[in-house]
Structure formats: structure tokens, C-alpha cells
Amino acid sequence: MGRDVLSRILWGARPSIVAGFVVVAVAVTVGSLIGSVAGFFGGILDSILMRVTDVFLAFPFLILAMAIAAALGPSLVNSIFAVSLVWWPSYARLVRGLTLSIKENLYVEAARALGTPRLKIVFRHILPNCAGPLLAQATTSFGFAVLATTSLSFVGLGAQPPSPEWGAMIAEGRTYIMSFWWMATFPGLAIAITVLGFSLLGDVIQENLPR
């Protein structure tokens, strides 16, 4: 096709990395808010929010993302929205568990005794102390968020050819895999290196968190 595969891989890193960053940022924000509110307030609010979370967790996330992206139409923006919509439940579960533990600490009890508003306690005392585990989880899942968005592009629901996006490049290159194997192989290696790199980084952060 007369294309420079290396240049397209380097250029294709932009939409792929940005998509992963947006997905993780949205998922962390939504999941943290839902998990902290559910864990701190408890009761019927906790039950309702966790049942909604369970509904999302009941479906394979990639299948659900594909269904949402197909309903919205094939584009990179719609694929990012679809993956973001199914990515937050794991963060909600994580933050809820951390909140249930943190809210029993003495400084939270002291803040309650001083009459501090409950939402202020959540944002000032609960969420900042969830930052370490959240960072480790976000770093680990970042690579998989990139993998999810490129998967939607591969099946035609994300970035559209001839856009230099890794998933779209693999979809184009698979037609010529027996003759020009490098067209699909090197974008796939870029995805593999990204996922592996951020997974290892997340493991390092997790190991160095204060116990």
C-alpha cells in the first residue's frame, strides 16, 4: 500500500493511549464516587448502588461494550464512551471496600464528633486515603483499557480505516497476513508491549504501597 508501518504505529499511539486514559479517568471518577457514597452512607443506598454495580458485572464487559458501541454507531468517540460505561464497576467495588475500612478510623470518628458534614468527610478524609490502591488499580487496568478500545476498532466499532489506530491497523493487515505479515504483527506487538508495561508498573506501585 506504500505506507510506512512504523510511522503509522507511532502516530496510532495517540488515539490508542488517549482512549485508554479517558476510559480510566472516567471509570475512576464514577467508580470512586459511587463506591465511597455506598460504603460511607450504607443502608438502602448502599444496596441500590451495589445492585446496579452487580448488573454491570453480570455481563462480560467486552460484549456489553460492543453492544453499546454498535447501538451508538462506529467511531472512536463512541467506543471510548461504551468502554467507559462498563469499566467503572471494579473501581466502585474497590473504593467501597476501602471506605468501609477507612470510615472506622479514629480521625473519621473525630470529624463526625466535630459536626463535619458527611460529604465533606467523604471528599476530605475517605477518598484521599483511597488514592494509593486506586492508582495501582488504574495503572494496571490502563493497558487493558487500551486493549478494549483497540478490540472495538478491530471489529469495526471503533476508529475507522484508514485512521492509524492500532486496532484498525490490525483489522486492515489481517487480509494480507500471509504475504505482508508485518502490517498486522507490529501493531499487535505495540498493544502487547503497552499492556505488559502498564501491568508491570501497576504491580510495582502495588508492592510499594504502605501497608
Q: Give domain limits for the chain.
A: 5-207
Q: What are the pLDDT digits (tens) for 82-103?
A: 999 999 998 999 999 988 888 8
148: pLDDT strictly greater than 80: yes
Per-residue pLDDT, 174: 86
Residue with cell 448488573: 55
The answer to whether 43 touches 165, Cβ cutoff 8 Å, is no
Q: How far from 152 is each of 63, 143, 166, CA to CA, in Å?
A: 10, 15, 11
pLDDT in tens, 36-88: 999 888 889 889 999 999 988 888 888 889 999 999 988 889 999 999 999 99
| Residue whose grid cell is 494496571 | 140
Question: Reduced to 3 states, what is the DSSP secondary structure of residue 1?
Answer: coil
* Whether residue 2 has pLDDT greater than 80: no
**What's the whole-number mean pLDDT along residues 91-117?**
87
Please report the pLDDT score of residue 196 as a whole number: 92
* pLDDT of amino acid 135: 87
pLDDT at residue 186, as a whole number: 93
pLDDT at 185: 92
Cα 207 to Cα 133: distance, rounded to the nearest angstrom:
10
Instruction: For residue 74, count CB atoms less than 10 angstroms from its CB and return exposed for 0-12, middle for 13-18, buried for 19 or more.
Output: middle
- Copy the grid coordinates of residue 75: 467511531
Q: For the chain, what percent of residues have pLDDT higher than 70? A: 98
pLDDT band at 9 (very low <50, low <70, confident <90, very high): very high
Residue reference for cell 467523604: 122
**Residue 26 scores a pLDDT above 90:** yes
CATH 1.10.3760.10 holds for 5-207: no
Is the pLDDT at 132 greater than 90? The verdict is: no
DSSP state of 117: -
Q: For position 210, what pLDDT does the model report?
A: 63
Please check whether residue 167 is in contact with residue 9, taking contact to mean a CB–CB distance below 8 angstroms.
Answer: no
Range 167-181 average pLDDT: 88
